[in-house]
């Protein structure tokens, strides 16, 4: 069975659940770990609207949470205002965004997210979307590949990696995780430690395939539209690009005078949590409140 351990669930619940009978959105429902815990802390009249692009995750979340107070919606969180309006909900008491991918998606080889597992080079959160990571690898121009490897992967050898991809695809389409890993090894080196040298390239492709930064860019607008006075939004990020964006967007909201930062610096998981769940190690939490 697939698992995903929700990160900083207790700390987030304490900071976010300001109204026990309130209406909340979980912008990234995943397997429903945070939502299930939140519902255990909320009253009978509370509601959570859970959004996810991944229809398989949504199905599992519905089953695991198994609570009539949850409405699970197959939609990106950027579409929350329209989706919520269709349920006659225009204001929320809080919102959570737990960015990136879940352990379930990483661990399932058929999804193609993991450099350590042989699988199709897919990486789509939304399996109904047409563009996959393989489409990017096989069709995007050299300059665009180099850009995403540099910007989204923060890869020093982005130009060499992009060249290796373009050279390899002249001979045969790159369709699997192993093919991509192997063609990059002459440029980036073979696996030595725990982390494969091409991990950042995989990250870059995942971010591009799912337009992750374009979505993160819209979080501030979504919460500005939906949160009522006193309501809070919490964002968990897992790499510096996302964290920088959230930091700047939250600062800009606070500068309007209608929002205040709940924590000036990022909050991070406890030593004990990281010891029990190594995937928590890079998590950073920022919380903001509407005045
Ligand atoms: C880190 S997981 C969330 C895990 C969840 N908090 C839990 O405890 O089970 C992130 C989830 O967000 C989803 N996702 C990524 N981008 C999204 C977007 N723009 N809109 C909605 N869901 C998104 C992914 O498909 C994934 O299931």
Residue of 13, 27, 30 best suited for mutating to test ligand 1, as the one with most atoms within 8 Å of CB: 30
Boundary (domain end) residue, out of 182, 209, 236: 209
Asked if residue 225 and residue 202 are part of one domain, the reply reads: no
246-266 confidence digits (pLDDT tens):
999 999 999 999 999 999 899
pLDDT at 17 over 90: yes
φ, ψ for residue 30, nearest 5 deg: 55, -130
CATH no. for residue 27? Answer: 3.40.50.150
C-alpha to C-alpha distance for 192 and 138, rounded to whole angstroms? 28
- Per the CB < 8 A criterion, the answer to whether 115 and 198 are in contact is yes
State which of 209, 235, 261 marks the end of a domain. 209
- Answer whether residue 49 is part of any domain: yes
Q: How far is the CA of 216 from the centre of ligand 1 (A)?
A: 12
Q: How confident is the model at residue 290 (pLDDT cuts 50, 70, 90)?
A: very high
DSSP string, 51-79: EES-HHHHHHHHHHH--TTEEEEES-GGG
Are 246 and 190 found together in one domain?
A: no
Indicate if 38 and 71 belong to the same structural domain: yes
- Asked whether residue 229 is assigned to any structural domain, the reply reads yes
Assigned domain for 58 exists: yes
> What distance in Å separates the CA atoms of residue 120 and residue 139, rounded to the nearest whole number?
16
Instruction: Look at residue 192 and tell me whether its pLDDT is greater than 90.
Output: no
Distance CA(176)–CA(71), nearest Å, equals: 35
Q: What is the mean pLDDT of the segment spanning 80-85? A: 98
Of 156, 181, 209, the residue that ends a domain is: 209
**Mutation choice for ligand 1 from 52, 77, 113, 238, CB with most ligand atoms inside 8 A:** 52
The reported pTM is: 0.97
The pLDDT mean for the chain works out to 97
CA 60 to centroid of ligand 1, rounded, Å: 13
Asked if residue 189 has pLDDT above 90, the reply is no
- Helices 33-41 and 9-16: crossing angle in degrees, nearest 10, is 50
DSSP one-letter code for 2: -
Residues 78 and 15 in one domain: yes
- Using one digit for the tens of pLDDT, what is the confidence trace for 205-215? 999 999 999 99
In this structure, is residue 4 part of a structural domain?
Answer: no
* pLDDT tens column, 89-141: 999 999 999 999 999 999 999 999 999 999 999 999 999 999 999 999 999 99
Q: Are residues 185 and 231 in the same domain?
A: no
Q: Does 193 share its domain with 226?
A: no
pLDDT bracket for residue 29 (50, 70, 90):
very high
How far is Cα 226 from Cα 216, in angstroms, rounded to an integer? Answer: 16
| 114 belongs to a structural domain | no
- pLDDT of amino acid 195: 86
Q: Would the pLDDT of 150 be above 90?
A: yes
Asked if pLDDT for residue 188 goes beyond 90, the answer is: yes
Based on the fold, state whether residues 220 and 96 are members of the same structural domain.
Answer: yes
Residue 78 CA to ligand 1 center (angstroms) comes to 12
Q: CA angle 76-265-212, nearest 5°?
A: 20
SS3 for 223? helix
**CA gap 257, 244 in Å, rounded:** 21
Report if residue 87 sits inside a domain.
Answer: yes
CA of 166 to the centre of ligand 1 (A): 31
Ligand 1 near 140 CB (within 6 A): no
Q: At what angle do helices 158-171 and 142-151 cross, to 10 degrees?
A: 140
Local confidence band at 190 (pLDDT 50, 70, 90 cut-offs): confident
From the CA of 32, how far away is ligand 1's center (Å)? 9
Whether residue 32 lies inside any domain: the answer is yes
Examine the domain organization and report whether 84 and 167 are in the same domain.
no
* Host domain of residue 38: 9-104+213-290
- What is the separation, in whole angstroms, between the first and last Cα of the chain? 43
For the chain, give me the number of helices (H) and strands (E)? 14, 7
Do 93 and 237 belong to one domain? yes
- Does the pLDDT value for residue 193 go beyond 90? no
Query: Does 274 lie in the same domain as 196?
Result: no
Q: CA 106 to CA 103: how far, in whole Å?
A: 5
The 8 Å CB, 24+ separation contacts for 249-254 are: 249/217, 249/219, 249/220, 250/220, 250/286, 250/288, 252/220, 253/220, 253/223, 253/224, 253/288, 254/288
Question: Residue 88 in 3-state DSSP?
Answer: coil
Number of domains in the chain: 2
Kindly state whether residues 100 and 221 are assigned to the same domain. yes
CA distance 269 to 8: 6
Query: Do residues 114 and 41 touch, judged by C-beta distance below 8 A?
Result: no
CATH number at residue 143: 1.10.150.170
Same domain, 146 and 264: no
Atom of ligand 1 nearest to the CA of 30: 27
Domain assignment of residue 2, yes or no: no
């Amino acid at each position: 069975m697939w698992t995903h351990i929700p990160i900083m669930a207790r700390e987030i619940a304490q900071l976010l659940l300001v109204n026990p009978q309130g209406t909340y959105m979980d912008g990234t429902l995943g397997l429903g770990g945070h939502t299930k815990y939140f519902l255990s802390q909320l009253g009978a009249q509370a509601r959570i609207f859970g959004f996810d692009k991944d229809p398989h995750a949504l199905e599992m979340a519905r089953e695991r949470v198994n609570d009539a107070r949850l409405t699970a919606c197959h939609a990106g969180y950027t579409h929350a205002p329209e989706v919520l309006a269709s349920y006659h909900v225009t204001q929320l008491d809080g919102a959570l965004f737990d960015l990136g991918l879940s352990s379930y998606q990483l661990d399932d080889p058929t999804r193609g997210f993991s450099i350590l597992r042989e699988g199709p080079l897919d990486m789509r959160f939304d399996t109904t979307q047409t563009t996959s990571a393989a489409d990017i690898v096989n069709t995007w121009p050299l300059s665009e590949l180099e850009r995403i490897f540099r910007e989204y992967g923060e890869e020093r050898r982005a130009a060499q990696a992009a060249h290796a991809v373009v050279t390899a695809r002249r001979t045969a389409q790159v369709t699997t995780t192993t093919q991509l890993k192997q063609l990059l090894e002459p440029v980036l080196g073979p696996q030595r430690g725990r982390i494969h040298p091409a991990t950042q390239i995989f990250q870059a492709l995942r971010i591009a395939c799912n337009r992750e930064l374009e979505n993160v860019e819209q979080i501030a607008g979504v919460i500005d539209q939906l949160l009522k006075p006193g309501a809070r939004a919490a964002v968990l990020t897992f790499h510096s690009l996302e964290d920088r964006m959230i930091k700047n967007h939250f600062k800009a909201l606070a500068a309007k005078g209608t929002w205040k930062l709940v924590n000036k610096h990022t909050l991070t998981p406890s030593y004990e949590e990281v010891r029990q769940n190594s995937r928590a190690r890079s998590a950073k939490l920022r919380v903001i409140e509407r005045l």
